[in-house]
Structure 1
Amino acid sequence: MQTILVVVHLFLAVGVIGLVLMQHGKGADAGAAFGSGSSGTVFGAAGSANFLSRATALLATLFFLTSLGMGWFSMQAVERPGLMIEDSTPAVEIPVSRPEPMSEVPAIPGTAGGAVEVPVVPSVTTDNGEQPKVTE
């Protein structure tokens, strides 16, 4: 049923688009659309505006109704939880394996396993010989 409703909705959408594109603006009369006077138009002496307006309104109404129908079907298909959290489902505990700590620290590459000397950085002093204060 839902598939049929989607197909009908698609055809209605194409029909509404076609009818809206067939209508002419306010300044154009019915004869301008078909190249002759208003009495010689395809839709008769009343002109095409009346027929196209009613057909567009009918298809737009059907399009709106199928949109509501599809919305209703989509609401029925999904079971949505309420606002309150229910404690009826127990929590599942997942075991976590922790890696064993390493017993020794690996050597730094390029030092051949020996101690590395840290270079001494000279202290910074200001012009008057005082060390600047460090604020964090």
Structure 2
Amino acid sequence: MALILWTVVVYGVLRCLLVLFSGIFSYKLCPGTHRLVLMTENSQGAIEGVIRAYFLRQQALGCRAEVVCVDTGSSDDTQSILMRLQHYYPSLEIRILSGGAMTHPSLWGQDASVIDLRCRNQRECFTYN
């Protein structure tokens, strides 16, 4: 029991230090908001980890972040996971596309990073320039 208590205390202290230092250095590290676009379809196994890790990293750096998740017709629990995460991260935007909707990165802005989580193997993946 004592080990669990000490673990929680150490985590809390480290978390407070992280927030303190990210607040101090935030203006020097990230002058603007960075946008991440995630293309998903049946990505329930990866989507939550990617979104949480991205927001945690941006918060640690003191940056403001936006995530636009574009779902192209999931038949698994991807959309319900996204709805749940939207309560924790208000800057998470969910767009649901159907059919042959355009998903080229030029639609999301020049400063956006695009990650395609729809890839099943290396041959299906494509890169954005």
User: TM-score band (shorter)?
Assistant: under 0.3
TM-score of the pair, normalised by structure 1: 0.22
TM-score computed with the length of structure 2 as normaliser: 0.23
- Structure richer in strand, relative to its length: 2
Higher relative contact order (CA 8 A, sep 6+): 2
Larger Rg: 1
